[in-house]
Amino acid sequence: MNTNRLSPQMQEALIKQMTKEAHASQIFLSYGCWADVKGYGGIANFLYRHSQEERNHMIKFMRYILDRGGEARVEAIPAPPENPFNLTDAFNKVFEHEVDNTTAIYEIVNLSFEEKDWATWNFMQWFVKEQIEEEKLALELIDKLKIAGGDSASDESLFTLDKALESAPDDVSLPQEATAENPS
Ligand SMILES: [Fe+2]
Ligand SMILES: [Fe+2]
């Protein structure tokens, strides 16, 4: 009797995503080290925390594959990319990595739709929502740096930005939660 509730194609797609989340975790860890070396302890802290979130995502995929009777497989994680060359580049790349991950998430949603695998479709909606938050978080980084002066930001404004990111929350609110009293 086949007790695996995932199609072979779906199982492989989910394993691939496990590795992709692990890769994202390594990328943010690596960027965190880069920021730390540059003296931006607050930004580094923010990136380390984000790295941990990506690892949690990997675990969620692992758990789901196993809970559906599938076989989870831990694969080699590609090396993180080159270090960013400045903060603008770093934050732009954080955003790009998130968009790239959203695309990968959408591909699994498409596959679940094609297969009428509604359990996976339902599971994936958590990640669709999560990516709205993650992209917003990355956009906010870009905005904050722009306001601080971008590439020509003064040391003082970078100091303030770094401090702010040290204690910045990991979560942002979803548009669904906005009300007329509290639109932000
Ligand atoms: Fe993720
Ligand atoms: Fe992410």
Q: Which amino acid is at 128?
A: V
User: How many domains does one find in the chain?
Assistant: 1
What is the residue-level pLDDT of the chain in tens, covering all 184 positions? 999 999 999 999 999 999 999 999 999 999 999 999 999 999 999 999 999 999 999 999 999 999 999 999 999 999 999 999 999 999 999 999 999 999 999 999 999 999 999 999 999 999 999 999 999 999 999 999 999 999 899 999 999 999 999 988 888 888 888 999 988 8
DSSP per position, 78-129: PPP-PPPSSHHHHHHHHHHHHHHHHHHHHHHHHHHHHHT-HHHHHHHHHHHH
Tokens, residue 52 = 């941990």
- Asked, for residue 85, whether it belongs to a domain, the answer is yes
Q: Which amino acid is at 1?
A: M
Residue 107 marked ligand-binding: no
- Asked, for residue 158, whether it belongs to a domain, the answer is no
Residue 57 marked ligand-binding: yes
- Asked, for residue 161, whether it belongs to a domain, the answer is no
| Residues flanking ion ligand 2, Cβ below 5 Å | 134
Tokens, residue 26 = 């390594």
Residue 17 marked ligand-binding: no
Any idea what the CATH number is for the domain that residue 55 is in? 1.20.1260.10
Range of the domain at 43: 8-152
Q: What is the pLDDT of residue 172?
A: 86
What DSSP state is assigned to residue 171? -
- Asked, for residue 107, whether it belongs to a domain, the answer is yes
- Asked, for residue 179, whether it belongs to a domain, the answer is no
- Asked, for residue 29, whether it belongs to a domain, the answer is yes
Average pLDDT value for the chain: 96
What DSSP state is assigned to residue 76? P
- Asked, for residue 176, whether it belongs to a domain, the answer is no
pTM for this one? Answer: 0.94
Comparing CA positions, the residue from 16, 56, 53, 17 lying closest to residue 169 is 53
Task: Tell me the CA–centroid distance for residue 44 and ligand 2, in Å.
Answer: 16
